[in-house]
Each structure stands twice: as C-alpha cells, then as structure tokens.
Amino acid sequence: MNTANRTKSQQLQARAEQFFPGGVNSPVRAFRSVGGAPPFIARAEGACLHDADGNRYIDYFGSWGPMILGHAFPPVVEAIARAAKNSASYGASTAAEADLAERVTACYPVLEKLRFVSSGTEATMSAIRLARAATNRKLIIKFEGCYHGHADGLLVKAGSGIATLGIPGSAGVPEEIAGLTLALPYNDVAAVEAAFRAHPNQIAAIILEPVVGNAGCILPAEGYHAALRKLTREHGALLIIDEVMTGFRVALGGAVERFSLDPDLVTLGKIVGGGLPVGVYGGKRQFMDLIAPLGPVYQAGTLSGNPLAMAAGIATLDYLIAHKVEVYSKLESLSKQLTEGVATAAREAGIALTTNRCGAMWTWFFTAGPVSNYDQAATSDTAAFGRFHNHLLNNGIWLPPSQFEAAFLSTAHTEADIAQTVSVAREAFNN
C-alpha cells in the first residue's frame, strides 16, 4: 500500500493557509517537524483513518488519545445521535451530567466532587486556581517537558508542540506570570526538595503528568510519586495529578489506580468525552467546596457539561467498565507485541532506539537512551524520526507527527495491524 499521493490534501492545505495560521488549528498538525504533506481526513472507522485522496492509514494517535475504542464506535455514535435530536446545548443542568459523574467517580474514588469543563486546558487552569486559593500561595511546580494546556503560566518548558517547534516558551506570556511557575526536571526528587527549601510557604501545588506523554512517553522512577506526595504534605502544598492523557488509558482508573496514588486534585479529559471536547477537574471535598457557587473560587463555562459530550462519555465509560478485563488485557498485549516488534527490528538493523511504554501509550525515541526526563528525550535524533514517520505514513501507518508525543492503540486494532506495522517499520530501518 502506497499512500504518498496526497494531491487533494495538498490542495486543501493550501486553501486552509488562507484562513488559519500555518493552515492548522493546532500546531502539531502542520507536520513541521517531520516534513511532508499532512493528510486531510475525510472519515475514520475502527483503527483506520481515510484521507481526502482515498488513502487508508492504521491510526496510532487516536485523536491524541480519546479513541480508546476506535473511531465511530457504534454505541458512542448512537448515543450522540440520540442526544443531538434534543439539542446540542442548553446552557442549563441535565441529568446526564450526574450520570457521567457517577461513572467517573466509580473509576476514580479520589474524586469526591468534580466539575466538567470543555477542555484539558480549562481543567488544569481551574485546578491551579483552586490550589492557589486553598493555600493562599502563588508558586506552582511543574516538570520540564510536561504539557498541561496552553494557559499562560503552564507554557514554561512545556514539551509537546513547543518542543516540536523548537520554541522555548511562548511569546505573549508576561515574565511576571512565567515567574510564578518553577519548572523542574522530571524524576528528580532532590530538585523538588531544593525548590521547597528555596521558597518556604510559597508553593501552592505540584502539578505533574504521572506518566509523561507530552515529551514522549516517560515513566516515573520507582518511588517518585510517593516522594512528591510526602513533600507536598510536609510543606502544605497540594498534589495535582494531570490525567488528561493517562486517564482511563493506562488503567480503568488511570495512573491513580495503576500507581496507587492519593492526589488532592485530578484533571481528566479526552476519553471522558468519548472523542468530544470535555475536561474534568475534581478531588477532595474540602477543596472542591471552594468552587462557586459554594465558595469564592470562580469558574464557569456555557458549554460545560455539554449534552453531546456527556452522552458520548457515558457510552464510552459504560463499555470500558463492563468489559474492563477484556479491554485492558487486549490493549496491554497488543501494545507489548507492537512496541517489542519494532524495537527488535531496530536492533537487528543497528538503529539506536529506546522504547518507553505504559499500557497502551508509548514512544519510540531515536536515541540509545535511557529516557527518564526531558533532557534525555531531547537527545533523540529528530531527523531520523522524521524519516521513519514519513516512510510509515507513505505506507499506510500514521504515527503522531512529533518525536515528542506519545502514540496510542485502541481496542479496534488487530494482530494483523500490528504485523503490518512491524513489517513496514523493518523496511524503514533497512532503507
């Protein structure tokens, strides 16, 4: 299968550039770090994307995570259609909001109360505002390479699209705001201890991706989460676990379940909306009761709890809950088979490759490794990744178009998909 002919996509890209900066509505879609013409999608089903030129691709980014059950999963499509018949939005409360919240909290008992918003950025931004109000402190610790949305104070050393584009931060972020964020190396407990010593009674919270996904997939060192929990408690700061990417992905209860975490606040997104825009922030009751109208912390959103997103989320979580063992054992097995197959092909070809995986999210770093923080991820040969990406794309395999993004697998993928991907990867390594 050769999908290199993307004439119509190129025409659509040229048209889009008349309207959007770079022709895209999210920077990584522009393919700047891997080169080539980005395909324009016409439709998707199961594990496959189909572009405007009629090309078919096995999809390993899954709308950046939410398509855990594959594209156009029938129960989700049917739920959205039923909800849409009654209206796309009300701006008023519906029973579906609590219906979905009931399912979310069943999987995340640490969420004693929660609030739906419309994006992961909204969720993390709101959680940080709440942490500052709860502690009456200003400083936030985040970790290099972790991306928590595009709110001003969170774009400091934010990995992902920023790393892909080679931007050190973002223009338009005042120094005064950036100065309230302390960006520390991931997996370095001593750096966190030093920050608390240097800023006594000033740090409101630590926010982290429990498994980094936005500098590529980076796993926590043994005892790392526990050390952060201990330090936050000792110093009166909150621990915010950002599971926008890992939530329901690395386990039904996300990283909180997989690593037995006890955060003060959690943020979620992506899978919770079944592919529609949604975000969640929540946690311990004593903090969530500070949110208006109960308390002084204001946060609002006309489309929060949107009925279409609630319907899609309910259908998705109902399936995941009912088929927990089957779903997560399949995701684990296929992901292991895929990542090890490609790693073996690289080793046989003498290609330096480090594979990091947690459940059904992973990254192949083009470096000898190991990769346990952003600086190590940044040693990757991005040109080699770009060549690898293009060879796969031209042969019907679509990886995230950045060395610094995690890849994802869905229950719709098959062993045949895995075998085809490993075969094409082997060709790429031997070209």
Q: Convert the pLDDT of each residue in 248-281 to its tens digit.
A: 999 999 999 999 999 999 999 999 999 999 999 9
| Arithmetic mean of pLDDT, 146-162 | 69
Tokens 């994802």 found at = 408
Q: Convert the pLDDT of each residue in 202-253 to its tens digit.
A: 999 999 999 999 999 999 999 999 999 999 999 999 999 999 999 999 999 9
Regarding whether 50 and 118 lie in a shared domain, the answer is no
- The answer to whether residue 68 sits within a structural domain is no
Regarding whether 123 and 149 lie in a shared domain, the answer is yes
Regarding whether 219 and 160 lie in a shared domain, the answer is yes
* CATH number of the domain within which 185 lies: 3.40.640.10
Does residue 201 carry a pLDDT above 70? yes
- Considering the chain, what is the average pLDDT of its residues? 94
- The answer to whether residue 50 sits within a structural domain is yes
The predicted structure's pLDDT at residue 369? 82
| Arithmetic mean of pLDDT, 60-82 | 97
Mark whether 417 is an active-site residue: no
Regarding whether 248 and 312 lie in a shared domain, the answer is yes
Of the three residues 322, 348, 371, the one that is the final residue of a domain is: 322
The torsion angle over the Cα atoms of residues 117, 122, 128 and 133, rounded to 10 degrees, is: -60
Question: Residue 392: which H helix or E strand, with range?
Answer: helix 382-393
Q: Convert the pLDDT of each residue in 341-356 to its tens digit.
A: 999 999 999 999 999 9
Q: Where in the sequence is the domain holding 237, given as residue range(s)?
A: 74-322
Among 51, 53, 59, 242, the active-site one is 242
Residues in the chain: 431
Regarding whether 272 and 359 lie in a shared domain, the answer is no
The predicted structure's pLDDT at residue 176? 81
The predicted structure's pLDDT at residue 160? 46
Mark whether 147 is an active-site residue: yes
- The answer to whether residue 16 sits within a structural domain is yes
| Arithmetic mean of pLDDT, 99-127 | 97
Regarding whether 251 and 128 lie in a shared domain, the answer is yes
- The answer to whether residue 15 sits within a structural domain is yes
Task: Name the packing angle between helices 324-348 and 415-430 (round to 10°).
Answer: 20
Q: Convert the pLDDT of each residue in 156-194 to its tens digit.
A: 654 444 443 333 466 777 788 888 999 999 999 999 999
Tokens 């502690």 found at = 135
Among 60, 108, 147, 328, the active-site one is 147
What one-character-per-residue DSSP string does 402-427 give?
A: STTS-EE--TT--HHHHHHHHHHHHH
Among 142, 157, 270, 284, the active-site one is 270
Regarding whether 183 and 56 lie in a shared domain, the answer is no
Number of H helices, E strands in the chain: 15, 14
Regarding whether 357 and 316 lie in a shared domain, the answer is no
Q: What is the pTM of this model?
A: 0.94
Task: Please report which confidence band the pLDDT of residue 4 belongs to, taking 50, 70 and 90 as the band edges.
Answer: confident
Of the three residues 267, 297, 322, the one that is the final residue of a domain is: 322
Regarding whether 231 and 85 lie in a shared domain, the answer is yes
Regarding whether 37 and 109 lie in a shared domain, the answer is no
Of the three residues 289, 322, 355, the one that is the final residue of a domain is: 322
- What separation, in Å, do the N-terminal and C-terminal C-alpha atoms of the chain show? 17
Mark whether 270 is an active-site residue: yes
Q: Convert the pLDDT of each residue in 380-423 to its tens digit.
A: 999 999 999 999 999 999 999 999 999 999 999 999 999 999 99
- The answer to whether residue 180 sits within a structural domain is yes
Report the domain count for the chain: 2
Q: Give me Rg for the CA atoms of the chain.
A: 21
